[in-house]
Amino acid sequence: MKPSSFKLTILCLLTLVYNYVFWQEKLGINLLLFSTLLIASLFYFYPQSWKATNVRISTLFTILSLIMVVWHNSLTSKLAHITSFLIMAGFIHVREYRTVYNALASYVFNFFAVIPNFISEWKYWSEQSKLSSTKTGKSLYQLRFSLIPLVFFSIFFSIFKIANPVFSDLSDSFFNSIATFFDQLFANISFVRILFIVSGLYLIGSFLYYMYYPQLLASEQKHTNIITRQRRFVKSQHINFSLVGLKNEYTTALILIISVNVLLLIVNIIDIRWLWFNFDYSTAGNLAKLVHEGTYMLILSILLSMGILLFYFRRSLNFYKNNKLLLQSSYLWIIQNCILGFSVLLRCYHYIHEYGLAYKRIGVVVFLILTYVGLFTLYQKISQKKSFFYLLRINSWAAYGMFILLTLVNWDVFIVSYNLQHPNVKMGIDLEFLLSRSDKTLPLLDQYKNRISKELESQRMDDKSYRFDNSTKKQYLEDRIQHFITEYPTYSWLSWNYTDYQAYQYFKTTQK
């Protein structure tokens, strides 16, 4: 079998698998089966790609996120696996890529080129059919030898069917079973099902077939990790003008960085005295405003600082012979931004201590971790004369790795557990937020049912702020539990995941 025809066969088989395992099912063990088959197919058709380190790392990330889908089945794990699979596919198609964003962009471009890929494949098959027309003629010529046996087989079958009632009943039953099978098959295929199959065919084709984009790879290969000094030969009358321009840029950068360093030093001293060592919740004022507005402004300050340093150290100032003071001021600015980042982290900690966990608060912590990675790579860029491409490459990999690490925790369960167990939650628990988490939190909410009831009795609800009143919230939790118990058995083993299975077993045990 030709390689292209085998790829077409695999495409059709994977489409059948896609239709079987995903139709009217939730993501679970079906994703494990399908992704494993698709990954194996990709490495079969692109065997040389495994030699690239980026391919191995992205494959490891994809498999890890896949395991977490079956284990936690959280929204984070599903999004991370889908994103990681697209990145991995981009690296497999072109193993020379070094950056995550180019691998992802390569797949996105390829996704919209599936139809041209199919057209080129069809043209290939048309050419092959012309070349093999003589072989087809011989095959049709040989087919006539099976026609005579088929005719006589039909005659004898009719005779035996008339002569033997038992044989007649068996044959009728056999053909009726076949007719029933096809009736049921086509009865279940609706327009939505056909659309589902076609979308699966298109999606799988975007992975198996690849259209090469030389511009994307060429744009990456022209970049290096180190800034190289490019000397430009200019006329003598312009040399002094260039030196004056560079000196003016150096002076501007030095004044700006030193002045902002002084300003940031004052802010950091205030934060260290008030926020680090002498923080008092009773005198903190509006803590929500302190965190929400203050945190975002400080994060903006850090990003702006990084942007300024990137601008001034983009080219010639890296090689300016009298730039020692500028370098020292820049290092000090980076250190001060690290201190500022820790102050932001403390603000977030104090807010979590008073109001509990939420996704935005976790997001702030994750963003700060990535910011520290960015500040470290910025220090490397300035001290080791690294390029802007180096920063993008390292930080995109850091963001990719962080996304995968987030799948290791079932955040819905973690947030609900923390907020229910936290002893010093101010102004009560946000029950509406907790009750809107995924079904995986239902056993935990059921265990704290008495605590929730007491909380509802102690809280004074504002109808304008909440969708449910107290009695509705109690009933809403019971309705969700009953809906989960009723719905879970309707899915097949293909939708199985460990966390939902645990939740169902819990309710089977407690509600006997």
User: Which backbone phi and psi does 4 adopt, to 5 degrees?
Assistant: -70, -40
Q: How many CA atoms lie within 13 A of 102 on its CB side?
A: 25
Burial class (CB in 10 A: 0-12, 13-18, 19+), 461: middle
Question: Please, which residues have CB within 8 angstroms of residue 83's CB and are 6 or more apart in sequence?
Answer: 104, 403
Q: pLDDT at position 287, please? A: 64
Which pLDDT belongs to residue 131?
Answer: 54
pLDDT at 500: 93
With tokens 């102690």, the residue in question is: 458
Q: How confident is the model at residue 512 (pLDDT cuts 50, 70, 90)?
A: low
Please give the DSSP secondary-structure letter assigned to residue 88: H
Q: Please count the other Cβ atoms lying within 10 Å of the Cβ belonging to residue 417.
A: 16
**Of 75-89, 216-230, 258-272, which has the strongest mean pLDDT?**
75-89
Structure tokens at 296: 């975002």
Q: Does pLDDT of 356 surpass 50?
A: yes
In this predicted structure, which of 159-168, 410-419, 425-434, 466-475 has the lowest mean pLDDT?
A: 466-475
Percent of the chain residues topping a pLDDT of 90:
33
- Share the mean pLDDT of the chain: 81
What is the C-alpha to C-alpha distance for residues 240 and 260, in angstroms, rounded to an integer?
Answer: 30
Give yes or no for residue 505 having a pLDDT over 80: yes
Burial class (CB in 10 A: 0-12, 13-18, 19+), 266: exposed
Residue 464 has pLDDT above 50, yes or no: no
Sign (positive or negative) of CA dihedral 86, 88, 406, 394: negative
Q: Is the pLDDT of residue 134 over 80?
A: no
Instruction: Enter the DSSP assignment of 428.
Output: -
The region, left, alpha or beta by phi > 0 then psi within -120 to 50, assigned to residue 356 is: left
Q: How much is the average pLDDT of 93-111?
A: 91
Question: Residue 463's pLDDT is what?
Answer: 45
What per-residue confidence (pLDDT) applies to 424?
Answer: 58
**pLDDT at 166 > cutoff 80:** no
What distance, in Å, lies between the first and last C-alpha atoms of the chain?
58
DSSP string for residues in 206-269: HHH-----HHHHHHHHT--SB---------HHHHHHHHHHHHHHHHHHHHHHHHHHHHHHHHHH
Q: Is residue 149 pLDDT above 80, yes or no?
A: no
- Could you read off the pLDDT of 364-411 as tens digits, one per residue? 899 899 999 999 998 998 888 888 888 999 999 999 999 999 999 999
pLDDT (0 to 100) of residue 248: 80
C-alpha to C-alpha distance for 144 and 305, rounded to whole angstroms = 82
Phi-psi region of 24 (alpha: psi -120 to 50; beta: other; left: phi over 0): left
* The two structure tokens encoding residue 354: 């008073």
pLDDT at 122 over 50: yes
pLDDT recorded at residue 233? 47
Please report the pLDDT score of residue 39 as a whole number. 96
Predicted pLDDT of residue 101: 92
> How many Å apart are CA 440 and CA 500, to the nearest integer?
6
> How high is the pLDDT of residue 373?
93
The Cα 203–Cα 256 span in angstroms is 51
pLDDT value at position 282? 63
Q: How confident is the model at residue 348 (pLDDT cuts 50, 70, 90)?
A: confident
367, 375, 368: which is closest to 391 by C-alpha?
375
Of residues 364 and 145, the one with the higher pLDDT is: 364
Length of the chain: 512
User: What pLDDT does residue 124 have?
Assistant: 64
Residue 52 is classified by DSSP as S
pTM, full prediction: 0.81
Residue 306 to residue 374: CA distance in whole angstroms: 8
What share of the chain in percent tops pLDDT 70?
A: 79
Whether 250 and 129 have beta carbons less than 8 Å apart is answered as no
Q: Which long-range contacts (CB under 8 A, 24 or more apart) does 121-127 make?
A: 121/4, 121/8, 121/209, 124/4, 125/4, 125/5
* Nearby residues of 255 by Cβ (< 8 Å), 6 or more positions away: none
The confidence score (pLDDT) of residue 284 equals 52
Q: Tell me, what's the pLDDT at 140?
A: 46
At residue 465, the pLDDT reads 45
Distance between CA 166 and CA 168 in Å, rounded?
Answer: 5
pLDDT digits (tens, 9 = 90+) for 282-306: 655 556 666 666 677 777 888 888 8
pLDDT recorded at residue 491: 92
Distances 60 to 63, 81, 82, 370, 427 between C-alpha atoms, Å = 5, 11, 14, 21, 44
Give pLDDT tens digits for 300-323. Answer: 888 888 888 888 777 666 667 777
Determine contact, residues 114/206, Cβ cutoff 8 Å: yes
Burial-class residue 370 by CB neighbours within 10 Å (0-12, 13-18, 19+): middle
Please report the pLDDT score of residue 179 as a whole number: 77
pLDDT at 466 (0 to 100): 47
Note the pLDDT tens digit of each residue in 405-432.
999 999 999 999 998 887 655 566 777 8
In this predicted model, what pLDDT tens digit does every residue of 189-248 receive, in sequence order? 677 888 899 999 999 999 998 877 788 888 888 888 787 766 554 544 444 445 566 788
Tokens of 410: 């079932």
Q: Which two tokens stand for residue 21?
A: 């395992």
Tens of pLDDT, residues 27-37: 999 999 999 99
Query: Cα–Cα distance between 49 and 314 in angstroms, integer?
Result: 34
pLDDT value at residue 458: 67
Q: What pLDDT does 372 receive?
A: 92
Q: What is the pLDDT of residue 311?
A: 83
Name the strand (E) or helix (H) holding 15: helix 3-22
The pLDDT of residue 242 is 53
